[in-house]
């Protein structure tokens, strides 16, 4: 608002002067400098001449508006300065640097958040946390680069849309967190609309229409999380890939009987095939309603999910079909998910568990400070691997409670998930491990591992497992509440 008022003042500040010169100099016959002085005096609501005509009247009115705008802008500036100063004393004070509507809505939901200045200022605001979310990813990273030495010990969150966080060097900087908003959405999607209840169906198919940022994230986390048994067969049908994505997906290793089928046809020419899927996920906003209707025409029982970032619901208007909206960004970009790092809590515990195992420490060991210190030691890729482990663990926990598997079967499922995480991040097998070239000697079938390696796919620490289980239950309760709302 303050910026808009400033722009209006800049654009129209000359109007009172122009009308004043017409009224005093041309119509009122005053000398040039007397007319100039009288016109300028109007900005201070202090008429310096007795000349009255329509031009002078217009000048007085517009000068009053400009003066009021200046005062209002000044008061707002003072308010913002005081607001920032007060906010700094809160332990969760957060400066949000944004130039888009989604970022503005995020700031409104923060308890002690305020907008940070993004123009002409090369230093950070005084705050404990900083969230940078500009219209495109390069602008976000450039903004951070220009100010990275001024953030001090504050925690900085860089929100991106397209870039892979684990390819960016900033992810390994202390105090920096990089969050891909579409990956946050996809992770929550598969937790909220999981396939656990259909895990015993031998054949299950998922159609993903559109393979941009949303579709790519939806497939990625479905591929990583939808692993329920050793004899499942989930087929992912995908439409809308570019050529490089097609090559990658066709070469992607599944480690079980799951499949990926990449369709070269346009969705318009393949509607009968799309409608055959058990679940249809429309990940593009353009033509979403048309695609959904075409699917319903062919099979009214098909489960159809449609992406809508703005939160518009139109599925309930249809008499037939199961149409469910997903992707409303306000539901995914929350203070709990970003600042409280709820998305990383399980990952930290699993990383700590690995540290206990490799360090040869007793399984009942636990130290909260060590959890965070061990997390800070690892690079972005290993952090992502631990987070992916945490995302999938609720499935293992549920299957244990249902009493369906033996321990070694859990290890094999975890090995499949671990292998898939590497495959989706472009790792391949080699008998010699080389992290720089993304080569790993353990990307082999589970039965080819020695017993020691197999056991590493289980949870080592008993105390850590208890904390993990409690956190999973807490997340499950929060997710159930969100679904009910």
Mean of pLDDT values over 33-52: 81
Q: Is the pLDDT of residue 308 over 80?
A: yes
Helix, strand, coil share of the chain (percent; to 5)? 55, 10, 35
**Cα–Cα nearest to 262, from 275, 272, 248:** 248
| pLDDT tens digits, 212-252 | 999 999 999 999 999 998 889 999 999 999 999 999 999 99
Mean of pLDDT values over 55-75: 79
**Which of 257-261, 312-316, 384-388, 400-404 is predicted most confidently?**
257-261
Which of these ranges, 132-136, 321-325, 446-450, 453-457, has the smallest mean pLDDT? 321-325
- CATH 3.30.2130.10 is held by the domain 193-307: no
| pLDDT tens digits, 98-154 | 998 888 888 888 888 888 888 777 888 888 899 999 999 999 999 999 999 999 888
- What are the two backbone dihedrals, phi and then psi, of residue 310, each rounded to the nearest 5 degrees? -85, -5
| pTM of the shown model | 0.81
Mean of pLDDT values over 176-181: 88
| pLDDT tens digits, 186-197 | 998 999 999 998
Q: Is the pLDDT of residue 80 over 70?
A: no
Q: Is the pLDDT of residue 97 over 60?
A: yes
Which of these ranges, 335-349, 410-424, 439-453, has the smallest mean pLDDT? 335-349
Cα(318)–Cα(192) distance, integer angstroms: 22
Cα(338)–Cα(159) distance, integer angstroms: 9
**Cα–Cα nearest to 129, from 159, 91, 167:** 91
Instruction: Enter the tokens of residue 325.
Output: 């909206």
Q: Sign of the C-alpha dihedral, residues 246, 250, 251, 257?
A: positive
Kindly report the average pLDDT of the chain as a whole number: 86
Cα(147)–Cα(126) distance, integer angstroms: 13
**By the 8 A CB rule, do 338 and 183 touch?**
no
**By the 8 A CB rule, do 122 and 147 touch?**
yes
Mean of pLDDT values over 431-438: 93
Which of these ranges, 101-115, 281-295, 315-329, 363-377, has the smallest mean pLDDT? 315-329
**Cα–Cα nearest to 338, from 91, 88, 136, 92:** 92
Residue-level length of the chain = 485
**Which of 9-18, 210-219, 347-356 is predicted most confidently?**
210-219
Pairing status of strand 155-160 against strand 129-133 = parallel
Provide the pLDDT for residue 469: 92
Coil, strand or helix: which one is 439? strand
């Amino acid at each position: 608002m303050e910026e808009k008022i400033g722009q209006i003042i800049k654009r129209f500040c000359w109007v009172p002067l122009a009308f004043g010169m017409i009224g005093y100099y041309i119509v009122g016959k005053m000398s040039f400098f007397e007319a100039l002085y009288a016109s300028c005096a109007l900005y201070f609501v202090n008429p310096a001449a007795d000349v009255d005509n329509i031009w002078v009247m217009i000048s007085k009115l517009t000068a009053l508006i400009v003066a009021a705008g200046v005062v209002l802008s000044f008061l707002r500036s003072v308010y913002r300065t005081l607001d920032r100063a007060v906010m700094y004393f809160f332990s969760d004070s957060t400066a949000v640097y944004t130039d888009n509507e989604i970022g503005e809505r995020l700031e409104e939901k923060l308890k002690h958040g305020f907008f940070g200045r993004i123009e002409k200022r090369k230093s950070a605001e005084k705050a404990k946390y900083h969230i940078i979310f500009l219209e495109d990813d390069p602008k976000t990273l450039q903004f951070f680069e220009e100010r990275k030495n001024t953030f001090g010990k504050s925690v900085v969150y860089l929100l991106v849309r397209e870039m892979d966080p684990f390819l960016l060097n900033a992810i390994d900087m202390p105090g920096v967190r990089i969050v891909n908003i579409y990956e946050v959405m996809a992770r929550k999607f598969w937790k909220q609309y999981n396939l656990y209840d259909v895990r015993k169906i031998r054949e299950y198919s998922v159609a993903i229409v559109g393979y941009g940022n949303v579709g790519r994230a939806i497939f990625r986390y479905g591929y990583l999380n939808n692993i329920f048994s050793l004899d499942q067969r989930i087929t992912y049908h995908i439409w809308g890939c570019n050529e490089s994505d097609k090559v990658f997906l066709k070469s992607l290793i599944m480690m079980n009987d799951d499949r990926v089928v990449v369709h070269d046809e346009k969705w318009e020419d393949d509607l009968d095939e799309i409608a055959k899927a058990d679940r249809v996920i429309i990940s593009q906003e353009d033509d979403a309603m048309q695609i959904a209707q075409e699917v319903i025409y062919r099979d009214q029982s098909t489960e159809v999910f449609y992406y809508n970032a703005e939160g518009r619901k139109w599925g309930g208007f249809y008499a037939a079909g199961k149409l469910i909206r997903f992707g409303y960004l306000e539901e995914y970009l929350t203070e709990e998910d970003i600042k409280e790092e709820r998305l990383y809590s399980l990952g930290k515990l699993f990383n700590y568990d690995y540290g206990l195992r490799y360090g040869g420490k007793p399984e009942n060991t636990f130290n909260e400070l060590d959890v965070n210190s061990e997390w800070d030691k690892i690079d972005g890729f290993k952090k992502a691997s631990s987070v992916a482990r945490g995302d999938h663990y609720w499935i293992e926990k549920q299957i244990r409670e249902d009493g369906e598997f033996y321990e070694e079967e859990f290890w094999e499922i975890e090995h499949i998930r671990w292998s898939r995480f590497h495959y989706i991040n472009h790792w391949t097998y080699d008998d010699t491990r080389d992290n720089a070239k993304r080569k790993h000697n353990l990307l082999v079938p589970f039965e080819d591992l020695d017993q020691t390696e197999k056991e590493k796919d289980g949870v080592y620490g008993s105390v850590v497992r208890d904390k993990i289980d409690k956190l999973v239950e807490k997340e499950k309760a929060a997710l159930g509440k969100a679904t009910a709302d």
